[in-house]
Amino acid sequence: MEKQIEEIENSEDLWSAVKFLQLFASNERSHGVVDLIDQTTEKCKLIDDKKALVNLYGLKIPVIYNFQDKLLVASQLINEMLTISEEINYQEGTAWAYSYMWYVEKIKGNKEESVKAMDKSLEILNQLTDCDKYIYHFVKYSYAIEKWLEEHDSKSIQIFEECLIYFYHNKFHRSLAQTLGILSVIYFKKLDNKKALEISIKILANRSLFDKMPYDVKGIVYYFTGLAHLLNLNLSLAETSFADSYAILKTVSEKNIYFSNFIILHSHSSTVKALQGKIAQAFEMINEVDKLLKKEFYIKNLDKNTKSQILHTLNLIKFYVYSRKIDFDVETSQDLIDEIIEGCKNHYSNFLLLTEFILNANLDDHTLKELSNTNYFSLNRVKHIIEFVIEKTTTDENISDEQRHLNCIDILNNRIRTDKTTFIEDTYADLLLAQELLDLQLFDEIYPLLRKYKDQLHKIEVLEMRIFMKAFIQVGEFRNGDTLAPAVQYMAIKKCRKHRFTKLEQLLFQHQQTMRNWVLPSYL
């Protein structure tokens, strides 16, 4: 490429280099790319092709503006783009520059200026009858991000999907990965995890495309594939994808624009480990995240919103892991609990981790009602769990224990279900129902509720849930004449001890008092 740049003699040669750099800069974000752009820029100034100069500045900005110490340089280049574009009446260049201004002002925290810049960018773009397709999709992509982040406007999904197709077919691998990322987040928030997974699998299946992707982009594709599997609680597949992602991103973590994905990858990986029952490994990864967050690089380069989401995800998995320890004390963990309460009001929360938190954090009635009244998609998904706990912990003396259990059963039975409700959400609710039925000694209703899971235990990859489900199914098996059921029940308790599922072990022993005379052997 350097030789091609040296041989540039006219605008035709120059534009050939610009088009090559357009693809190259999109896929290879490095200091080497900046050097090539700068070399081409010098040739461009000699030829005095101002339109090409605007395009070269436009290619350089996204290579550098993800790092805080480069924002001043990015701002200067944006001003150059605007000045030159207005001078030669290059409307596409002006629209492109304003879309960059939107991003930089947003990073600086100047929300009003950021919105004004995006409005100007889109206004200019909409007036053009024929626009460079790369600039068009870049600007529309930026606009869609703004609309989604600020308004959660569903129309942005269509724009992202159009951009994804363009980037996919034109081999803009890094832009493809970025669009995959934002679309995945949107699909997750709309509880359309399958669609997010379909896109990732499609990219991975196209080996001729995937093998040509930059090394770090491959890491990001693996990352979002793993995240989609995690949200569907396909833990073994999530673990494999995260391991592939970690192996790549670790080698480029502080030299790459995906440094924030690398750090939150630790939290997701620790979540997978913990849910698989690998509590010690999960604890190690949590400690690693804490160390990374204290490093100067991350303190300097993580923006406020990204860091806040990372901390919230980390706090949720911390609570899950800590609450499995035999010496766990809610009172001494109050600071962590308070942070999670605030975080779950405006940050994405893993369904299962959030559910476990609500059930086990000993939240007071005021806090529970506050969470129930907060209109945020993660909390809306666990609304029935919150209402369940409110009823479970009510101190109303006019409600008998029996009525309280019946009310809890009604809450779970009448929970809102949609086509987005997952298998694991129904499984969790049915386990809670089984406990209420057990407390009411409605033994004969437990097996009909849970027997559908007997041949689906392999789908419950959360080890603690699978042990619990199997134990409850054995209750029904015993009522149906299986004399081995008590022994299997005892093995479930031993397995809890092995994996240090202290809470579940204690719960099974509590249930033992109810079941002693008809399920468990006396030596328990």
Residue 515: inside a domain:
yes
Residue 397: inside a domain:
no
Residue 297: inside a domain:
no
Tokens representing 301 are 């380069």
Give the model's pLDDT for residue 244: 95
Tokens representing 483 are 């004399």
For residues 386 and 172, which has the higher predicted lDDT (pLDDT)? 386
**pLDDT over 70 at 60, yes or no:** yes
pLDDT tens-place string over residues 369-424: 999 999 988 899 999 999 999 999 988 888 899 999 999 999 999 999 888 788 99
Residue 163: inside a domain:
no
**pLDDT over 90 at 259, yes or no:** no
Q: How many domains does the chain have?
A: 1
Give the model's pLDDT for residue 506: 59
CB 103 within 8 Å of CB 113: no
Residue 35, classified by CB atoms within 10 Å of its CB into exposed (0-12), middle (13-18) or buried (19+), is exposed
Residue 80: inside a domain:
no
pLDDT tens-place string over residues 131-158: 889 999 989 999 998 888 777 777 788 9
Write the CB contacts of 445 (distance below 8 Å, at least 6 apart in sequence): 437
Residue 483: inside a domain:
yes
| Whole-number percent of the chain with pLDDT over 70 | 88
How many Cα atoms within 13 Å fall on the side-chain side of residue 269? 25
Residue 295: inside a domain:
no
pLDDT tens-place string over residues 26-39: 777 666 788 898 89
Least-confidence region, from 235-244, 248-257, 338-347, 504-513: 504-513
- Mean of the pLDDT values across residues 180-203? 80
**pLDDT over 70 at 338, yes or no:** yes
pLDDT tens-place string over residues 422-460: 899 999 999 999 889 888 878 788 888 988 998 999 999
Residue 324: inside a domain:
no
Q: Which domain holds residue 513?
A: 460-524
